[in-house]
A and B are shown apart, each in its own frame.
Chain A
Amino acid sequence: GAGVSQSPSNKVTEKGKDVELRCDPISGHTALYWYRQSLGQGLEFLIYFQGNSAPDKSGLPSDRFSAERTGGSVSTLTIQRTQQEDSAVYLCASSAGQGREGNTIYFGEGSWLTVV
């Protein structure tokens, strides 16, 4: 597609339910990132994919969070047993490769998650 696409754009869920957030990166981009931003807070790294593998999962806040990427393209971030503190905007970004000059990073519009 033309840009990074995320869905759903907005999700309201009850505490304790599981949610899945989807990211469709720019075609051909091998690097994919998940970040989140809580209300009034800065951006927080969650996980990074290079192809289908995740060399850096250090930002996942708990074992309720998991992510996968299939076919080197679409990624799904899953939050199990959601808690109110999970409420945030979850941002996905992609770039063409690893650490090369000129690899601009492109962000999606985000998935706004509210846990009630």
Chain B
Amino acid sequence: KNEVEQSPQNLTAQEGEFITINCSYSVGISALHWLQQHPGGGIVSLFMLSSGKKKHGRLIATINIQEKHSSLHITASHPRDSAVYICAVRRGTDKLIFGTGTRLQVFP
């Protein structure tokens, strides 16, 4: 079993829909990252959080440390949000352990 599990693996949505991507992990962590990987391969860090909730524009990330669960929400989704979203957890050595990613396609 992977230490970091994401769901769903694939997600399609119509423009404007509210989207939720989930991440569960089974190890102790110091922080959790949400990353966005575009088709060209470039990776951008969206959020790093260790508690509570963070918001940036239309993106919201939450984490529940007790339940070892995080969610990434996208409000008013847009085709340019189409990408692979990756959850990664940081452990003691600062090594990141990655989920397998969620491929999101938003259609106009």
Contact = CB atoms under 8 A, between A and B. Distances in A.
Interface of A: 31, 33, 35, 37, 42-45, 48, 50, 55-56, 58-59, 89, 91, 93, 95, 98-99, 101-107, 109-110, 112
Contacts of A44: 98
Interface residues of B, number: 24
A112 B42 CA distance: 12
Given A103-B48, A104-B48, A107-B44, A55 B98 contact: no
A45, A50, A89, most chain B CB atoms within 10 A: A45
Contacts of B93: 48, 55-56
Contact of A98 (B42, B94, B97): B94
Contacts, number: 64
Given A42-B101, A89-B41, A107-B42, A102 B96 contact: no
Given A42-B99, A91-B43, A99 B94 contact: yes
B73 to A, nearest CB: 20
B10 interface: no
B50, B94, B95, most chain A CB atoms within 10 A: B94
Contact of A104 (B42, B45, B101): B45
A35 B41 CA distance: 13
Contacts of B101: 42
Contacts of B86: 42-43
B92 interface: yes
Contacts of A109: 41-42
B60 interface: no
24 contacts: A33-B95, A42-B99, A43-B86, A43-B88, A43-B96, A43-B98, A45-B98, A48-B93, A50-B94, A56-B95, A91-B43, A98-B94, A99-B30, A99-B90, A101-B31, A101-B48, A101-B50, A103-B31, A105-B33, A105-B48, A106-B45, A107-B42, A107-B43, A110-B42
